Structure 1
Amino acid sequence: MRDNRYNHATALFALVLFTLSGCSGLIYQSVWSQYLGLYLGHAAYAQSLVLAIFMGGMALGAWYVSRNPRQWTNLLRAYAIIEIIIGVAAAVFHFVFGSVTEFAQDVALPNLPIGWGTIGFKWLSGALLILPQAALLGTTFPLMSNAVIRRGGGGSGSILSGLYFANSIGAAVGALLATFVLVPAVGLPGAMRVGAIINVIVGLLAFILSKQHEPVADRSEHSTTTSAPVTGERLLLIAAAVTGASSFMYEIGWVRMLALALGSTVHAFELMLASFIGGLAFGGLWIRRRIDGYANPVRVGGIVQVGMGLAALVSLLLYDRSFNWMEWAMAAIARTGEAYTLYNLTSAAVAILLMAPAAFFAGMTLPLFTLALIRRGGGEPVVGRVYAWNTLGAIAGVFFCVHVALPLMGLKLMMVLAAALDLLLGAALLYHARTGPARYPLLQAALLLIPVALTLQLARFDPAAMTAGVFRTGKARHDAESEVLFYKDGKSASIGVLQFPSGSRSIVTNGKPDAAIQVKPGGQPTLDEATMAIVALLPLRMHPDPKEIANIGFGSGYTIHTLLGDTRVQRVDTIEIEPAMVEGAKAYGAVNARAYTDKRSTIYIEDAKTFFASHRSQYDIIVSEPSNPWVAGVANLFSTEFYRFVPRHLKKGGLFVQWIQLYEIDETLIATMVNALSDSFMDYVVYLSGTGDLVIAAAADHKLGPLGEASIDDPLLKERLENIAIWKKEDVVMRRIGTKATLDPLFKAINRTRNSDFYPVVSLQAPRARFLHASASYLHELPTADLPLLEVFGDTERNPSVVTSAVTFAAGQAVERAGGVVQALRNKPSVELAPEDMVYISLLRDSISRCAEGIPTAASIDAILGLAARTVSLQRRDQLAGLWTEATLPRCAALKPEIVQVLEFAEALGARDWVTTSDRAIALLTDSQKVLSARSAGYLLRAAVLSAIAQGKYANAGEIAAQFHSVPLPRRDDSLQMIHMRAFADAQRPSDAR
């Protein structure tokens, strides 16, 4: 009795250890995928290779253990040693990875022949980085399983399914722990070290447990590799391979399918992975207490395979509903930081509903097949063999999905094929397990294909839903008036092209629009057109001789088309990872034609880092225009390591141009990207492209001068620029918001962190910002700020009064509005005013000229400062001269002194009389703060600080802010403006005075 209790305690302890081992294993897989994604790139072959290496190593380890288990006299001790070795390897992985990648980029790739030489080296070296650890991980399941079986911890089936559950549930926890806790807290290197600590602890505990006697069963119960073949072994090993292939076809298919409903973020991917692994785990748990009672485990395995296939088909029938579920969730969940957790839980629930049922059945298959072979005399070797064949099947499934099924068949047919494989395998197993003669076996198998046919007919994979991006828009489908012109499931992404009633077309990647272009003659240009044109125009106007250009990301092809509009350009190399993107963008027609037809244009399907390292080319201009940083894998093109890599491939005097979104992100995240860029570039200048994007031009070896005049009159370019209302140099200059000297202090003040490949701040935090509908509004509003910040910070080229008003650029419209306000105040109305401006002007005349009763002093001051804020940075000094004097605004005799002071403040501010501006602002804040609204008090404080900076009194700027620290800054952008001014002032002071 005592021995029996001991054996059960041993089995229970083994479950705990194997749970921890599974947790560390998925921490490694999650982090290895990110490491190798950095090295191999996020092209389709890289994604499949990461999975194949991991699964191949597991298979190799399991196969090695299964060769002759009798050589292991103490399996648990061997398991303990291997766990410790895995931990040590994980602890040094980051150092090894850095050394390998540095050697590859600096030595190997530049000296190998382009093509299979460079690809082969990266595949081989990438495989060697994780293959040894993966092989060691592959040994753990057969070693632990056979160790517990030897020690008599219960029935073989119960042990196998129990350990499978423990390892899988630990893996599900590890996947979530890595992404949501470890990597945000300690980065990729820290996460590896945490996994290493877990492995070492598991190894030490297992080593202690291994000191107890472990019997070796006799030869009749545990066959060796020289034993006679086990009855039905070939069929069951093939079954293990087929179910492994179908399981991974499901996993890859579901991940792509759900990315269209949940979003292509790191968080969404890990939730899907945890849902799948969790389903596997609970399948093992459910069968644990039942498996040893099955008289015919092969028959049960056949039933389970049929259930697995049917569950997968049901998930396809439900898939279209997932968009409706997410539409409901997006409407019901508030866009707050706390609600983001609820959003993730909802996403997990959708993933579980679709993925877990089939995964639940998949979790039963390996224990059943293994038990069947053990009962037939296979002994310990079959544990490793079944595991190895299952893993080899998974590898085949991965490669088949990525390189054959997805590009040639599409998601729906691929998933139906996987389900059909399971149903046919189930039929074969049931036929094999029969106890009597089979009746009409072919008919029975054919009947199982009826659900397949029905699913092909009824399952709805609606392109209108799959391109709608419900995770962003909150709408399950596009409007009926919109048309899907193109849709294709590519190797690494699903691409669609939409036609809208307005005449514009948009290319969509995994449900997220990447570029919209107006194709209807005379139609209103889109904001994206402005972005893509500015991305091309800036370097063409800043570089004196732009001959050779590299463009990262094909997108719509519009940027390439515009770059080729400059006759000085001799070559444009475009690097794109998804062939379907290039194919789909042909739907734009003539607006991007040069990208395809111009002999100077070459398109490479490759990862950017691999392309640059292997081609060894240097360029006058490199343009980086990837997708949004919240998309998994994209943030690596906004990292310290990438920006350190880029200058090597620029010619002397070369320019690097980077697009960054301002929508669905905030200033703190943008700061991490710009800080990373700033470290590797001597100078940069930042422009707004339209109402929601930044374009950064950076130089690694020289200071940037003013914009050149070249290219604006090039006939091939002129049409593109006039389309977005860029008629003259001032239209471009007005979009400038700062340089390294003026913006670095701001970004470092709000967030000193740098986005790094190994500490991926952006990829982990940007999905939350997207959910919150965050906006970097402060940067967007800098050209139209309520105080002349850019002028004071040194931008002397701006001449707002001659800027063209355009729908694609809010600053041009703001200039037009400011001019209308000035003319109205001078009693020379020229345009229709905004309602708020009309109210302010009417209030102003009533309170100043008529001294009308009942108007609060605070309201009058609000009107004066509100109108001043609309005009002061958008009109020249001569246009503002005398605007607030008695000559323009006659004053009644009873006008209150506070209002007089505010009028004098506004006049001084317009005239850039910084001494008077500062004096009046401080006097009002000191003596009249009680009659000021919070908005007006904050404006006066900010103006006083700016006045000190304008006078070169940088220390005074901080002193004024400190003196009036109790004055509220009611808007978030007001606070950021204050941070910006104080940081800029501090940066101008000598270092010994700070």
Structure 2
Amino acid sequence: MNKRLKIVIIVLFFISGISSIVYQVVWQRYLTFSFGSDTLSTTIIVSIFMLGLGLGSYLGGKISDSLDDLKRLGLYVIIEIVIAVFGVLSSFFLYDILYQKFSTENLLLSIFLSFVFLLPPTVAMGSTLPLLSKLFETSLREIKTNTYYLYAFNTFGAAFGAFIPFFIIVPRLGFNGLIYFAALLNLLCVLVTILMYKSLKHIPHNRTSNSEKEEELVVKETTQLNWYLLFGVSGFIALSLEMIWFRTLHIMLKGNSFTFPVLLSIYLVGIAIGSIIGLMYLKKIKNPTHLFFRLQGLIVLSTLLSYIVLFFVIKNSELIESFNDYLYRYEKGRGFRMNFLTFFLTSFFVAIPTILMGVSFVSLQEASNKSIVSFGKKLGTLLFFNIGFSSISVIITTFFLFQYLGTSQSLFFLSILLIILFIYKILYIDTSYIHKTESSLLIVTTLICMAIFPDNQSMWKVFQGSHDKEILVLEDKSSVSTIKLNFLDSKTDVIFLNGLGQSYFPFKQDLGHVQLGYLPVLIHPDPKKIAIIGFGSGGTLYAASQSEKTDHIDCFEISTNQYDLVSTYGKMIDDKDINRLFNDDRIKLNIKDGRKALLNSDEKYDIIEADALRADSPYSGNIYSVEYFELLKSKLSPGGFAVSWAATERVTNTFAKVFPYAYTNGFMLIGSTSKIEIDLNSPVKEEFKALPIDWKKSVLDFKKVEYHSDQEVNNDLFPRDEFNYVYKN
């Protein structure tokens, strides 16, 4: 391939990488409305997407070997058009149809419909690399080099797409705007490819040189099936590490909606850089089989060492006391220092392992793919196994490793997997004493790291700035929940969810949540049935349960460990309010996505409220949007109240757009479809009278809020507040 054509193809793959990652992230967001944003739903969504990519890789490779170059280009044009069409239609199908028309149907139907829609575009995305890997090349060496360049720059594009659009486009145009941007990129690829196609019809292609015939006859060091399985295991480890890194960083950084795009971007940049490094030193790779295994060992070992180093530095060094204070504190940071910390800490964990992952892709191809005739098929099958095992990794890491082992022991599991891999290498691959010794040393080094690696409780204690303080930790598939004892003083403890402070104990210390739960009950004339979205410490639920008129309360929480942690804590300190809460027959504790549960329920409530959630938290847009408040309105009994934290002025305006009678005291919002009559003589619960709250004044502080059409609101597909971290109107 001449230099100009190579640059054009590389640029096309860079652009294609941007659009693909945008679709992946935005489609996952669309599907949370139908499936919910809990752990099971997220796992289903990711698995559907990855299954399509894997199938596409296999089919693209199989087809590629039977086509000439111009037919490959023609098929590539069709693929990009298909992706663009499905991109443009995705909002209509995944949100307007699947969510609004079929969301109340059973889970299996939603999975089937999602799969039917996502299969064509994801198969198309997965097919592009193996399809074009042999484009315009006449030797095996040229094909491999072309593949490494395409893989690297497609990954660079994905890294760009994971970062820049979410900082620039989403805050200005929302998710639909981002989808249209991605579709335009696909159409740009179509236009450039058509122009290139027309100018290349006269050029002959696909000539296999005689010198390559000898290379095709090289005896493989292991069977092709073994290579497929080995690359599958490599994908399993890589994606499991990505999930472990994200959980760690999200908790340490007290993450917002931009934490995952930053992590994903750095993760992908590392892989792309590693691919380029592997390409640069290609001629020096004399034994790619041993290099591939060596790299897998270094990926896991470098991860173990990064955790060990950071653990002991935080625990023993006074030089980073300010960082330790940040880990311990209630709120997240803002500004340049926070952005720098996010970049630095992410790079510290992710950079070296992901660079090694990129090099390992090159070493794998060098070791396993030695035939020009079947190169595309083998590349596609390798990617199919890699993506397929990655999909399995999502399920196992979520529902087994995090659930039963925790983050620390999940790394133990991957270390054991690595040791098994090297035992296999010693028994079946190593033929020399030097290689056997090297493999044995790597196993011993891994065992040493495992021996000094902190257990789960100790690790989270240090990584949340509490190495010299008392702390309770409970981790499972959904989250890491923590109670820091004696947080403010000897009388106040605080519950944290994924590193971020939620509320205080005892309940009566947290006056904000007490008011959030109790004021609507105090104002409503007959609050028989109540729904609370979000548990937190249980403070809002506790306050809302204080009316003797209330017969039933449904509480919805997606973090599956919070109920258990708070219950354990209540028993440990013999807190009567907490224990009474868990023994109240009127209260039903549900482990569900609250919005999804309300959507699928025919129940009507006198009061529905969401526990306070920061407006820039991930998925916070789902409970501060016009559509969410419309859902609440549809589930209210006559004269019922919808209640929300007045997190921002935009939230207040959004709330007022939906409810004709909306009131705020500056802290919380109460809305109804009918005028709210306030009875100032409503009796206050005796135990709440002693609190430093003027209840009569708190009730009188509520003023009617009017909707302003000239001001912005939050929508499901344009959650302005959630992505308002960088750009502000």
Q: Same fold (TM over 0.5)?
A: yes
1:248 aligns with 2:235: no
* Aligned residues of 1:301 and 1:429 also touching (Cα < 8 A): no
Equivalent residue, structure 2, for 1:390: 386
* Aligned residues of 2:221 and 2:429 also touching (Cα < 8 A): no
> Deviations 1:223-245 (Å, cap 9, x if unpaired)?
xxxxx999511111011111111
* Aligned residues of 2:77 and 2:194 also touching (Cα < 8 A): yes
Shift of 1:218: 7.0
* Aligned residues of 2:220 and 2:368 also touching (Cα < 8 A): no
Q: Distance in 2 between matches of 1:457 and 1:309?
A: 15
Shift of 1:318: 3.1
Shift of 1:293: 5.1
Equivalent residue, structure 1, for 2:330: none
Tell which structure's C-alpha radius of gyration is larger.
Answer: 1
- Would the alpha carbon gap of residues 414 and 331 (structure 1) be closer, same or farther in structure 2, given more than 3 Å must change? closer
Equivalent residue, structure 2, for 1:598: 584
Q: Secondary structure at the match of 1:92?
A: helix
Q: Distance in 1 between matches of 2:87 and 2:103?
A: 26
1:296 aligns with 2:287: yes
1:408 aligns with 2:404: yes
1:677 aligns with 2:655: yes
Q: Secondary structure at the match of 2:378?
A: helix
- Would the alpha carbon gap of residues 327 and 643 (structure 1) be closer, same or farther in structure 2, given more than 3 Å must change? farther
Q: Secondary structure at the match of 1:573?
A: strand
Give the 5 Å matches for 1:625-636: 625-636=611-622
- Would the alpha carbon gap of residues 182 and 13 (structure 1) be closer, same or farther in structure 2, given more than 3 Å must change? same
> Deviations 1:827-853 (Å, cap 9, x if unpaired)?
xxxxxxxxxxxxxxxxxxxxxxxxxxx
- Would the alpha carbon gap of residues 613 and 551 (structure 1) be closer, same or farther in structure 2, given more than 3 Å must change? same
* Aligned residues of 1:243 and 1:422 also touching (Cα < 8 A): no
> Deviations 1:447-493 (Å, cap 9, x if unpaired)?
43333333334334786884799xxxxxx72484x410x21223232
Q: Distance in 2 between matches of 1:250 and 1:707?
A: 57
> Deviations 1:315-346 (Å, cap 9, x if unpaired)?
222343579898657999xxxxx982453233
> Deviations 1:236-260 (Å, cap 9, x if unpaired)?
1011111111101110100110112
Q: Distance in 1 between matches of 2:138 and 2:197?
A: 10
Q: Distance in 2 between matches of 1:364 and 1:47?
A: 30
- Would the alpha carbon gap of residues 421 and 160 (structure 1) be closer, same or farther in structure 2, given more than 3 Å must change? farther
Q: Distance in 2 between matches of 1:31 and 1:413?
A: 32
Equivalent residue, structure 2, for 1:869: none
- Pick one of 610, 628, 631 that aligns with 1:642: 628
1:573 aligns with 2:559: no
Shift of 1:103: 3.9
1:86 aligns with 2:80: no
- Pick one of 148, 158, 162 that aligns with 1:161: 148
- Would the alpha carbon gap of residues 308 and 250 (structure 1) be closer, same or farther in structure 2, given more than 3 Å must change? same
Q: Distance in 2 between matches of 1:488 and 1:232?
A: 44
Q: Distance in 2 between matches of 1:48 and 1:266?
A: 18
Equivalent residue, structure 2, for 1:910: none
- Would the alpha carbon gap of residues 145 and 417 (structure 1) be closer, same or farther in structure 2, given more than 3 Å must change? same
1:615 aligns with 2:601: yes
- Pick one of 610, 623, 642 that aligns with 1:624: 610
Amino acid at match of 1:576: E
Equivalent residue, structure 1, for 2:717: 758
- Would the alpha carbon gap of residues 680 and 355 (structure 1) be closer, same or farther in structure 2, given more than 3 Å must change? same
Q: Distance in 2 between matches of 1:357 and 1:259?
A: 19
Equivalent residue, structure 1, for 2:453: 459
Shift of 1:642: 0.8
Shift of 1:603: 1.2
- Would the alpha carbon gap of residues 358 and 102 (structure 1) be closer, same or farther in structure 2, given more than 3 Å must change? closer
Q: TM-score, normalised by structure 1?
A: 0.66
Amino acid at match of 2:6: A
Q: Secondary structure at the match of 2:369?
A: helix
Q: Distance in 1 between matches of 2:407 and 2:369?
A: 38
Amino acid at match of 1:42: S
* Aligned residues of 1:685 and 1:739 also touching (Cα < 8 A): yes
> Deviations 1:918-967 (Å, cap 9, x if unpaired)?
xxxxxxxxxxxxxxxxxxxxxxxxxxxxxxxxxxxxxxxxxxxxxxxxxx
* Aligned residues of 2:485 and 2:493 also touching (Cα < 8 A): yes
Q: TM-score, normalised by structure 2?
A: 0.88
> Deviations 1:430-457 (Å, cap 9, x if unpaired)?
76544x366895x865643333333334
1:702 aligns with 2:680: no
- Would the alpha carbon gap of residues 101 and 380 (structure 1) be closer, same or farther in structure 2, given more than 3 Å must change? closer
Q: Distance in 1 between matches of 2:470 and 2:337?
A: 33
Give the 5 Å matches for 1:305-704: 305-320=296-311, 321=313, 328=322, 340-341=335-336, 343-375=338-370, 378-426=374-422, 428-429=424-425, 432-434=428-430, 436=431, 447-460=441-454, 466=460, 477-478=465-466, 480=468, 482-484=469-471, 486-500=472-486, 501-518=489-506, 525-526=508-509, 528=510, 530-586=511-567, 587-588=569-570, 589-661=575-647, 670-687=648-665, 694-699=667-672, 701-704=673-676
> Deviations 1:237-290 (Å, cap 9, x if unpaired)?
011111111101110100110112222212222111111111111110100133
> Deviations 1:587-635 (Å, cap 9, x if unpaired)?
1332222332111111111112221122221111112114322221123
Equivalent residue, structure 2, for 1:134: 122
Q: Point out where structure 1 has 5 or more consecutive residues left out of the alignment.
A: 1-5, 113-117, 223-227, 333-337, 470-475, 520-524, 662-669, 689-693, 770-994
Amino acid at match of 1:632: P
Amino acid at match of 1:81: I
1:100 aligns with 2:66: no
Equivalent residue, structure 1, for 2:329: none
* Aligned residues of 1:467 and 1:510 also touching (Cα < 8 A): no
Q: Secondary structure at the match of 1:146?
A: coil
- Would the alpha carbon gap of residues 379 and 536 (structure 1) be closer, same or farther in structure 2, given more than 3 Å must change? closer
Equivalent residue, structure 2, for 1:918: none
Shift of 1:561: 2.6
- Would the alpha carbon gap of residues 445 and 191 (structure 1) be closer, same or farther in structure 2, given more than 3 Å must change? same
- Would the alpha carbon gap of residues 385 and 638 (structure 1) be closer, same or farther in structure 2, given more than 3 Å must change? same
> Deviations 1:708-750 (Å, cap 9, x if unpaired)?
53452xxxx422x134245x7524335x252225xx56xx78x
Relative CO higher for 1 or 2, CA cutoff 8 Å, sep ≥ 6? 2
> Deviations 1:161-186 (Å, cap 9, x if unpaired)?
22221111111111112211111121
1:56 aligns with 2:51: yes
Equivalent residue, structure 1, for 2:230: 239
* Aligned residues of 2:314 and 2:324 also touching (Cα < 8 A): no
Q: Distance in 2 between matches of 1:326 and 1:132?
A: 50
